[in-house]
Amino acid sequence: MVKEEVNATGTRDGESGFSMIEMVVVALIVMVVAGIAIIKLNPVRQQQQLDAAMIQVSSQLRKARETAIEHRRDVTVTFNADNSVTLTQLNLPAGAAPTNLGTVPIQAPALFMTMAGMPDTPDGFGNAGPVYFNGITGGVPGMMFQSDGTFVDLAGNYVNGTVFIGIPSLPTSARAVTLLGATGKIRMYKGNGSGWAQ
């Protein structure tokens, strides 16, 4: 019978493996590295969420415009207090029940909001409120896309404006979507804390 001897490390000669202390140290190192990675990636994740919110607003405006052109019906756009966008198609004859095209909430944690210290966008439509069209905070009542792609109020006047998006207390989170009523052109801007870039 061969007799195995125990060496100074507590393992039998010829055995391989890791001690419990070595495995605990490796697990702690992995957890520290993972924690650092999560902390570093959080701002990136927030920027992606803000970009997604900006794209959602832009997409809803484009959808409204395309639907108005395709169906030859006016499509109203409403920016709601719960940070969502509602599209409604107005049907003929006048007074017929409208068709709700849906309500889309913007990507959390983004909100309709202006950022203190941020100037107006280069389009210069105003920034007195988070949703600011033709000088009215919250938007002009009944603002809509027409079948020719223009964005107007109930009287048929062109409506220009901006939707501002951000996360409170995070200056670099500012985003903006502008709309030129005469053409229906939509632009997206990203804020850097002191200005805007497309």
CATH code: domain of residue 42: 3.55.40.10
Quick check: is 9 in a domain? no
Range of the domain at 186: 20-197
Q: What is the pLDDT of residue 11?
A: 54
Which residues of the chain carry a pLDDT beneath 70? 1-16, 40-43
Would the pTM count as exceeding 0.85? no
Quick check: is 10 in a domain? no
Quick check: is 82 in a domain? yes
Quick check: is 55 in a domain? yes
What total number of domains does the chain contain? 1
Quick check: is 3 in a domain? no
Q: Which residues make Cβ contacts (< 8 Å) with residue 158, sequence separation at least 6?
A: 150, 151, 152, 181, 182
Quick check: is 7 in a domain? no
Q: Considering only CA atoms, which of 152, 168, 149 is closest in space to residue 160?
A: 152
Q: What is the pLDDT of residue 43?
A: 67
Amino acid in the structure at residue 117: G
Quick check: is 1 in a domain? no
CB-based burial of residue 117 (10 Å sphere; 0-12 exposed, 13-18 middle, 19+ buried)? exposed
Determine contact, residues 184/150, Cβ cutoff 8 Å: yes
Q: What is the pLDDT of residue 5?
A: 57
Q: What is the pLDDT of residue 169?
A: 82
Q: What is the pLDDT of residue 145?
A: 97
Q: Which residues make Cβ contacts (< 8 Å) with residue 53, sequence separation at least 6?
A: 106, 107, 110, 165, 175
Q: What is the pLDDT of residue 66?
A: 97
Quick check: is 176 in a domain? yes
Q: What is the pLDDT of residue 57?
A: 96
